Amino acid sequence: MRRPLVAGNWKMHGSRAENGALLEGLLSKVDTAKTDVLVCVPFVYLAEIAYQLRGKPIKVGAQSLCAEAQGAFTGEVSAAMLKDVGCEYVLVGHSERRSLYNEDDALVARKYMAAQSQGLIPVLCVGETLAQRDANQCFAVVETQLAAVIKAAGIASFANAVIAYEPVWAIGTGRTATPDQAQEVHAFIRQVLAKYDATLANAVRVLYGGSVKGANAAELFAMKDIDGGLVGGASLKADEFLKICAAAG
Ligand code: 13P
């Protein structure tokens, strides 16, 4: 059985005061008996939040990392640094990184490997744009995004990874994929992996992301191949995020 995971992606939001209040709200009520709960926070707050969450049930992740191990890469943060401050997970290939910062499939694969080289669990984000969906390219796009990582890192790497399907047209738009639309792509993701290793394809957690809210989480998470969510906007409100976590458990 796959254990559900609900991950909050705070994106570029928060302050020390806001983060403290949000975490306090989450910790007071979160129930992780049946679900893993993760917050992916801005780099500058990682060390402090990881420290605050030591021994607590909520896990900490970063939102990106540098593909290089160390050196003259001004402004970048390495996998070893993330590990050093207590980070366990890291998002790679988020659509905002792909579209706004020109991260291509090859770079995403390198970041994924850099994360695993330090024992971090990459959350590999894949998903199509609206134009690609309208052109019936959804499956081809997702397969290409997965194939780049499988080719570079090997199928066995998915034993220590999470996949997030985030249709770009559903991110921050209030327009959620229907449970059937999401399920169809989640099943396809497993099919792609199963060509290499059926056991791993069945075991890997595949999260859905894109306008997940308390009101729609349960119907999405009820689908056979959806193992939880990657949540943006709704992860910034403790009550709303807790509702989503409860829907996964
Ligand atoms: P929203 O939940 O705000 O649509 O964001 C989704 C997302 O990008 C999470 O990584």
All domains in the chain, ordered by first residue:
5-248 (3.20.20.70)
Assessment of whether the complete model's pTM goes beyond 0.85:
yes
The continuous run of DSSP H or E covering 129 comes out as none
**Taking the chain, what is the end-to-end CA distance rounded to the nearest angstrom?**
13
Take atom 1 of ligand 1 and give the residue whose Cα is closest: 232
Give the model confidence (pLDDT) of 152-191 as tens digits. 999 999 999 999 999 999 999 988 999 999 999 999 999 9
Take atom 2 of ligand 1 and give the residue whose Cα is closest: 232
Selection from 60, 139, 76, 75 nearest residue 110 by Cα = 76
Average pLDDT over residues 61-81: 98
Whole-number percent of the chain with pLDDT over 70: 100
For residue 1, the model assigns a pLDDT of 83
Q: Which atom of ligand 1 is nearest to the CA of 125?
A: 10
How far apart are the C-alpha atoms of 246 and 213, rounded to whole Å? 12
Q: How far is the CA of 41 from the centre of ligand 1 (A)?
A: 13
Average pLDDT over residues 196-211: 98
Average pLDDT over residues 40-49: 98
Beta bridge pairs of residue 125: 164
Give the model confidence (pLDDT) of 113-128 as tens digits. 999 999 999 999 999 9
Decide if 94 is catalytic: yes
Residue among 212, 240, 241 to mutate when testing ligand 1 (max atoms within 8 A of CB): 212
Mean residue pLDDT of the chain comes to 97
Q: How far is the CA of 71 from the centre of ligand 1 (A)?
A: 32
Alpha-carbon distances, residue 232 vs 82, 100, 174 (angstroms): 21, 17, 11
